[in-house]
Amino acid sequence: MTTKPAVRIDPSRSALKDQLNLWSPHDSAKLYRVEEWGAGYFGVTPRGTLGVYPDTDPTKCIDLYDVALGLAARDLTPPVIVRFPGILQHRMGNIRRVFDKAIAELGYRGKYHCLYPIKVNQERHVCEAIRTFGYDLGFGLEVGSKPELLAGLALTQGMNGMPLVCNGFKDAEYLELVTLAAKMGRNIIPVVEQAHELNLISRSARAHNVVPRFGIRAKLAAAGVGRWAGSSGYRGKFGLTVGEILHSVDHLRANDMISGFHLLHCHMGSQVFDIRAVKAMVSELAHLYVALRRAGAPIEAIDIGGGLGVDYDGTQSATGSSINYTLEQYAADVLYRVQSICDEAGVPHPNVMSESGRALIAHSSVVVCEVIGSRVFPGRPDQKLLDAALAQEQPPQPLLDAVDAYHQRNGDDLLGAYADAEHALAEATTLFSLGYMDLNARAACEEIYWAMGKAVLDAYGDELPEDLSSLPDQLADLYFLNLSIFQSLLDSWGIEQLFPVMPIHRLGEEPTRRGILADITCDSDGKVDQFPGEWGAKTTLELHESEPGSEPGVGGEKPYYLAFFLTGAYQETLGDLHNLLGDTHAVHVTVGPDGRWRIDTVVEGDTVREVLSYVQFDPDEMRVQLRHDLESALQAERLTLAEGASFRRFLDDSLQGYTYLE
């Protein structure tokens, strides 16, 4: 086995770089790879802050750091979701433009509609924005359950023509509502996911004397890729096999319902990262469409479901947090395949629908949070500790070895000295466990080992020998965030999805630390230790040292803000109440006519009172009980009256307060 030669950095070189302050905002943009994942919506401003460009025009910039400070000044302290409706509108317009262009270039003779799947983010303000922007763009909505159906009907009120496609398991009540809504004039289409739903549809249509309009979801052989591959293929939960569809067509013909078969649907899972899988799925669906048209089904549209992915890590690769295609390729490939298969068969081009949720909305939300402290391994052993450990009559041999290694740290053989310190620590922990070493000696060996590790990292930087490649992770700092991963970034924990994350200020300053991020839940899984890197995930993030004069802790004089990007899809509604940390504040930020940012909508996060009642505690009853307890303590003189008043104030303020640290 060959090992990479270690290259020791010339210390005068980095010192000179520091002195000349050669780091620029441009270096930060490169380091955090903003251009790669930002899709034109994010960049680094010349003042070293994070800029948001809602319509990809850097001259119309919203300074995210300014926004964070402005929100904090309005008592909307982080964590806070900052939504940019301008980005959403631009994404929607872009999908429209790209499909229109592909339609024109190919001479495709059908239309394209994008349906927003409400499940991706059901927040009312988000859905309303999509409905409003989408109306003129020919967009529609997709719903997957009874509550979503009601939300969809409410959202499309007064917009009868807006397509509303209903997926998911359905009962008689669900389908009854759909039939009545159709009778009211809504452009609503239930999609049959289970064969028996056809009977429910026909029963309800007969009862209300209407001709039903419906779609059928096909269970295709083409398998998806990645995390949600199980949504497609024969073992998929939804849809009818080709055999079941043929059987249904016979049944529909026999019952005079074939004229209602308007839509052929499929969905191959979310975040389909490989364009080859999209092509295979669309080809199979198009052939099925042709065969069903020939069998007499008057299908007008095919719905290719979701799956259009997002390049979260900016690597443009066929990997879980990326995609190996562009929106332009997606549109052209889908339409070209359908067109060529239809043309060969002499069958009309169907309208094409996609239920693209993630790609539509991911970029438009950012989670801003504050670092509330850090844990850093010491760069040198504590002298007092060392003196105390060495003061004993016969210091243990591992301690003497560790101290000896430490004295060699500036010599020619730093790597050898590091290996000695590592060996000494291993022996020290064994001796300690056997009861032959005291606490001081063990702690001193640990601190020496960490200091030696740091010395190696400083000396070799990115040129570490291969056998020490895990050292940066071992010695990474731990930065604590006032945030719950389980509430705000569930997919980071649940499916190890990468989200871009970086500081939103101090970007003109070199980040000299490397760390991982931990949240404030009492769960050791509440951390982020995978970050988008040039070659996929990297295990530490470059961060800034706390500024001189800044107070560590919440509300410090100089807060250090980080933001997670591309969080608009799924994270808000999948988030849970782990540790009763509730919904965060959310705001909508746009650019006003004067070119300055402004807050259009504020949705305040959950209060402690609210989250307690979600889990069936009665905050008023709790208050009465605790006050009763307090009175007993006052009478027994365990608390003074002043302490009692302060307890009462704390109790009342806490119940009304934010669930995060304030």
Ligand X SMILES: Cc1ncc(COP(=O)(O)O)c(C=O)c1O
Give the residues lining the site for ligand X (CB under 6 A). Answer: 117, 120, 142, 167, 267, 270-271, 305-308, 355-358, 569
Taking the least distance from each CB to ligand X, the nearer of 356 and 488 is 356
- Quickly tell me which residue has 């996060």 as its tokens: 605
* Cα angle for residues 566, 80, 606 (degrees, 5° grid): 120
Taking the least distance from each CB to ligand X, the nearer of 308 and 489 is 308
Taking the least distance from each CB to ligand X, the nearer of 142 and 420 is 142
Q: How far is the CB of 308 from ligand X (least distance, A)?
A: 5
Q: How far is the CB of 155 from ligand X (least distance, A)?
A: 17
Taking the least distance from each CB to ligand X, the nearer of 334 and 385 is 334
Taking the least distance from each CB to ligand X, the nearer of 61 and 308 is 308
Taking the least distance from each CB to ligand X, the nearer of 217 and 262 is 217
The rounded radius of gyration (Å) of the Cα atoms in the chain is 30
For 463-467, the CB contacts below 8 A with 24+ separation are: 463/4, 463/6, 463/7, 463/8, 463/9, 464/6, 465/3, 465/4, 465/5, 465/6, 465/415, 466/3, 466/4, 467/3
334 and 441 Cβ atoms separated by less than 8 Å:
no
H or E stretch including 518?
Answer: strand 513-518
Taking the least distance from each CB to ligand X, the nearer of 455 and 569 is 569
Taking the least distance from each CB to ligand X, the nearer of 357 and 582 is 357
Taking the least distance from each CB to ligand X, the nearer of 271 and 484 is 271
Distance CA 312, CA 362 (A): 9
Taking the least distance from each CB to ligand X, the nearer of 271 and 530 is 271
Which one-letter DSSP state was computed for residue 308? B
640 and 648 Cβ atoms separated by less than 8 Å:
no
Residue nearest to ligand X (CB): 306
* Cα angle for residues 546, 552, 554 (degrees, 5° grid): 120
A 10 A CB-CB count for 193 gives: 22
- Tokens of residue 540, six digits: 């530490």
442 and 417 Cβ atoms separated by less than 8 Å:
no
Distance CA 405, CA 646 (A): 54
Distance CA 605, CA 569 (A): 18
- Find all residues with CB under 8 Å of 36, minimum gap 6, and list them: 311, 313, 314, 315, 316
Closest CA to 206 of 176, 184, 240, 162: 176
- Find all residues with CB under 8 Å of 374, minimum gap 6, and list them: 477, 478, 479, 480, 513, 515, 546, 552
